[in-house]
Every structure is written in C-alpha cells, then in structure tokens.
Amino acid sequence: MNELLKVDHLTVDFSTDQGTVHAVRDVSFCVYPQEVLGIVGESGSGKSQTMYSVMGLLADNGKITAEDILFDGKKIHESAFKNHSEYEKTMQHIRGNDMAMIFQDPMTFLNPVLKIGTQLIEPLQNHTKMSKKECEQKAIELMRQVGIPSPEKRMNQYPYEFSGGMRQRIIIAMALACNPKLIIADEPTTALDVTIQAQVLELIQDMKEKLGSSVIMITHDLGVVASLCNRIAIMYGGKIVEIGTDKEIFYEPKHPYTQGLLNCINNPEDDDKDLQPIPGSPPDLLNPPKGCPFVDRCEKAMKICKQQMPSATAFSKTHECACWLNELKKREGKK
Ligand code: SF4
Ligand code: MG
C-alpha cells in the first residue's frame, strides 16, 4: 500500500540560550491511508515537534533536517522548494486543505472575541469556492455532525459560552471543514474530563470513518490509544524506540520503556494495585546520551547500552524495537 505520509530520517534541533536541544533524533515512520497511528511518549519526547516539523509549524529557533518527507506523493521537506516563501505557501495550502490539526487546548486556537460561526465560516471561505450563504449552511452542518445541539443558535455565541468538551468539538468541526486526508490530533483529550474524553475520541473515530482520513494521535497516555490506533510508535528521548501494530505493542511489547508504560496504564479492573510509574526522569536533550536514551531508567541496562545506540531489530514486517537486549539475542541466534 502506498503511504500517505512518509518521514525519512527526521532530525529537529532548537538553538536556545543554553545550547542546542536535540528534540527529534533520526526518526523514520509512515502513515498509510485510513489508518490511525498513535505516537506515544512522555512530554519532551519529541512527539509534538515531529509533527510540527511535518506540518511546517516549527518555532523559528527550530531546524529540520530530513532525508525526505513525502505527503500524498509530494515532497514537503523545505529543501525540495526553491525558497522559504515557496515552501510556506505550499504548506499553508496543504494545512488548509489536506492536513488538519486538533490541539490540546481549544482556547489557544479559538479567537475569544469572534463568534464561533465566524470562525467556522472563515476557513471555508478561504479554502473553498462556496458562497457566503453556502459556507454558513456548511458551518451549521459541521456543528451538527460533531454533536453540538441547536447549531443555528450557537453560531452567534462566543467561545467562552461553550464548555471545554464543546470547544474541542468545534475544533474538530474546523479540522473537518475541508475533508482533510490527514488529521493530526495532539493530546486532544488531555484537558478534558474522563467521560468527555471518551466522547471526543469516539467522535474523532467516527469522523475518520466518514471522511476516510488517516489520523495521527499524539498522546502521553498509552491507554488513550488502546481502542483507537491500528499502529503505535513509542517515542523516548527524541527517538522512536518501538513501533508495531496495536496488538504487537499491547501483547508483545519488546522495549523495557514500552513495558514500563503498559505497567502504568490505569486498569479499572485491578483497582490501581499494580500501577507502577517508571522511576527517574527523561534524558537531558541538550546533552543526549551517546547510547540508549532510556539507559538511566532501565532495570535491564548493560554496559554496551551506555556506549552505543542500539539499532532497530525487526520482529515482524510491522514490529521493530531499538534495544540491545533484542539486538544481542538476535546476534546470539545467528551464531
Ligand atoms: Fe535498557 Fe539497554 Fe535496552 Fe536501553 S538498550 S532499553 S538500556 S536494555
Ligand atoms: Mg506535546
């Protein structure tokens, strides 16, 4: 199957007063049409920055290097463009038409002094050839689709008049306005109550089915992606340490960090008794470790883990993990 998105050897560095932060370190993955890929990791693991780089939304002090970034068959890495403004123009078009983003906090995205209706109609006017009247109708229809009651009336209200869950529904409606091929959801439920979280995830799933889009779900909570994702990439210290199908990650996790994350999942049936947070803190990305990024927190760490970065070992066509335990086992087996 042809990939919708292909990211090849992506590295993202930020220059700061303290030095260079190596936020994303040689990351490669792809997203297939109509699939949901989860990108899971603690805050600072590089998951959001990976996707901001793909969308051309990186902060000014960020620098992207990549062998290739392909979206829908087109090269979208800046080096493929004549100049920066050409790149910006193309990315703006892609963001308005083919890729949509749902953020953690709807209030950072909504303009507090503009009515919701205006905010929904504007992108439709900018990115489609519909008349104002048609855009209005479409905005009402979108609000209805995402489950906002009495949309005609609510078009005239301001963001503060909506609850957190309702505001996130509006962001989803905005994201869907142009039938995107790819929806990127960055911690879309983190700011919401648990019951509302489930509703918003269900809505994203429904919308994906209706539009036939692919989804990238960025989250720190492996539990969130359990029911939603076809494949999951686990990020740690700016690297993808394991990637596999949902079943491979949940039932045959190979990386000690993935195994640790699974132990942290809140399982309602066992009354939190076995909940074990991973002790220690993530690596300093100003001075990332030379070897495995998880070495300081790993119970199974060996001498080689500190010295050399493990390369990815494949367990199946879909399952890869970068850990010396697996690499050494494979070498043993070959002897
Ligand atoms: Fe632990 Fe070593 Fe594997 Fe890293 S490479 S996860 S330190 S065993
Ligand atoms: Mg983030």
Q: Taking 90 as the threshold, does the pLDDT of residue 290 lie above it? A: yes
Ligand 1 atom with least separation from CA of 299 = 1
**Residue 221 carries which DSSP code?**
-
- 28-37, 138-147, 186-195, 243-252: which has the minimum mean pLDDT? 186-195
* Residue 298 CB less than 6 A away from ligand 1: yes
For residues 277-298, give the mean pLDDT: 92
Please name the residues in contact with 260: beta carbons below 8 A apart, sequence gap of 6 or more: 276, 278, 297
Place of tokens 């990386």: 255
CA torsion, ordered 122, 123, 127, 129, to nearest 10 deg: -40
CB 182 within 8 A of CB 98: yes
Structure tokens of 136? Answer: 């209005």
Query: Looking at residue 35, what is its pLDDT?
Result: 95
Query: Looking at residue 267, what is its pLDDT?
Result: 57
- Provide the pLDDT confidence category of residue 129 given band limits of 50, 70 and 90: confident
- 81-90, 102-111, 291-300, 313-322: which has the minimum mean pLDDT? 102-111
Query: Looking at residue 276, what is its pLDDT?
Result: 66
Enter the ipTM: 0.96
* Residue 234 CB less than 6 A away from ligand 1: no
- Provide the pLDDT confidence category of residue 269 given band limits of 50, 70 and 90: low
**Residue 273 carries which DSSP code?**
T
* Residue 331 CB less than 6 A away from ligand 1: no
Query: Looking at residue 270, what is its pLDDT?
Result: 56
261 Cα distance to chain centroid: 17
Mean model confidence pLDDT for the chain: 91
Mutate to test the pocket of ligand 1, among 278, 296, 300, 326 (most ligand atoms within 8 A of CB): 300
Query: Looking at residue 335, what is its pLDDT?
Result: 64
Summarised one tens digit per residue, pLDDT across range 216-255 is 999 988 888 888 999 999 999 999 999 999 999 999 999 9
Of 289, 318, 325, give the one whose Cα is nearest residue 306.
289
Ligand 1 atom with least separation from CA of 295 = 7
Of 320, 319, 326, 287, give the one whose Cα is nearest residue 305.
326
Summarised one tens digit per residue, pLDDT across range 172-226 is 888 888 889 999 999 888 877 888 888 888 888 888 898 899 999 999 888 888 8
- Provide the pLDDT confidence category of residue 96 given band limits of 50, 70 and 90: confident
- 53-57, 151-155, 205-209: which has the minimum mean pLDDT? 205-209
CB atoms within 10 A of CB 211: 17
**What percent of the chain stands above pLDDT 70?**
96
The SS3 assignment for 162 reads: coil
Structure tokens of 121? Answer: 């109609």
β-partners of residue 217 are 38, 185
Q: Taking 70 as the threshold, does the pLDDT of residue 30 lie above it? A: yes
Gap from CA of 76 to ligand 1 centroid (Å): 34
- Considering only CA atoms, which residue is closest to atom 8 of ligand 1? 301
22 Cα distance to chain centroid: 18
- H or E segment and range at residue 12: strand 5-16
Higher pLDDT, 36 or 165: 36
* All domains of the chain in start order, with CATH: 5-98+180-332 (3.40.50.300)
Gap from CA of 295 to ligand 1 centroid (Å): 6
Query: Looking at residue 271, what is its pLDDT?
Result: 54
Residue type, 309: M
Ligand 1 atom with least separation from CA of 257 = 6
* Residue 294 CB less than 6 A away from ligand 1: yes
Gap from CA of 25 to ligand 1 centroid (Å): 17
- CB-proximal residues (5 Å) to ion ligand 2: 48
* Residue 292 CB less than 6 A away from ligand 1: yes
Indicate which ligand has the atom closest to the C-alpha of 258. 1
The SS3 assignment for 247 reads: helix
Query: Looking at residue 316, what is its pLDDT?
Result: 96
Query: Looking at residue 194, what is its pLDDT?
Result: 80
β-partners of residue 15 are 20
Q: Taking 70 as the threshold, does the pLDDT of residue 119 lie above it? A: yes
CB atoms within 10 A of CB 215: 26
What is the chain's Cα-based Rg? 21
Mutate to test the pocket of ligand 1, among 306, 324, 327, 330 (most ligand atoms within 8 A of CB): 324
* Residue 312 CB less than 6 A away from ligand 1: no
Asked whether the whole model's pTM tops 0.95, one would answer no
